[in-house]
Amino acid sequence: IAAAVLILMWPVTFGGKLLLPADMLMVMQPWQAHAKEMGFDRVQTPFLDAIQQHYPWRKFAAEQLREGNIPLWNPYMFCGTPFVANNQSAVFYPETWLFMLMAPERAFGWSALLSLIMGGTFMFFFLRVLGLRRLASVIGTLPFLFCGFLVGWMLLPTVRAVPMWLPLMLLAFEH
């Protein structure tokens, strides 16, 4: 399971690519003015939230936590806005802490990798509790991890994180 996830996530972990639609910036000012000279043609992945919301929030949370501060308030939005109280900021979610250890643009790929491995592990054990053999559990886990919903929403950490906990909840229910 981990090998299959690593193959999928290789470009954004070890391959030098980013799990961020940074090309979206090229359709907005001030970057739009330089789009042609940078060879920008068109947007490949039109997910604004990942680059306009999740990236700056994860970066801000990581900086604040690294300094020993709990980021209660975000002074960079509007005239200031609550930060911890915003559930999408995910300050206390363990995946967000990875952003303190590495550059945020790199952490998006690694956090997705760890999230998928965690969800796959939970699904494997859930299927084992249901009585499936080891190979059947592995084969049953792969469609869960690589379904269209998870792959399609991989860019948004809060959307991706929720279904990763479902197998653990089902496992707990079975017990």
Q: pLDDT at position 67, please?
A: 95
Q: What is the CA radius of gyration of the chain?
A: 18
Q: Model confidence at 30, in pLDDT bands (50, 70, 90)?
A: confident
Share the mean pLDDT of the chain: 91
Residue 51: partners with Cβ closer than 8 Å, 6 or more residues away: 20, 21, 22, 24, 25
Q: Model confidence at 66, in pLDDT bands (50, 70, 90)?
A: very high
Q: pLDDT at position 22, please?
A: 79
Burial class (CB within 10 angstroms; exposed 0-12, middle 13-18, buried 19+) of 144: buried
| Token duo for residue 126 | 């859930």
Q: Model confidence at 25, in pLDDT bands (50, 70, 90)?
A: confident
* Contact present, 124 and 137 (Cβ < 8 Å): yes
Residue, of 73 and 47, whose pLDDT is higher:
73
Q: Model confidence at 24, in pLDDT bands (50, 70, 90)?
A: confident
DSSP lists the bridge partners of residue 81 as 74
Q: What are the angstrom distances between the C-alpha of 115 and each of 2, 112, 132?
A: 11, 5, 23
Peptide bond into 30 cis (omega under 30): yes
In the predicted structure, residue 46 carries a pLDDT above the cut 80: no
Q: pLDDT at position 136, please?
A: 97
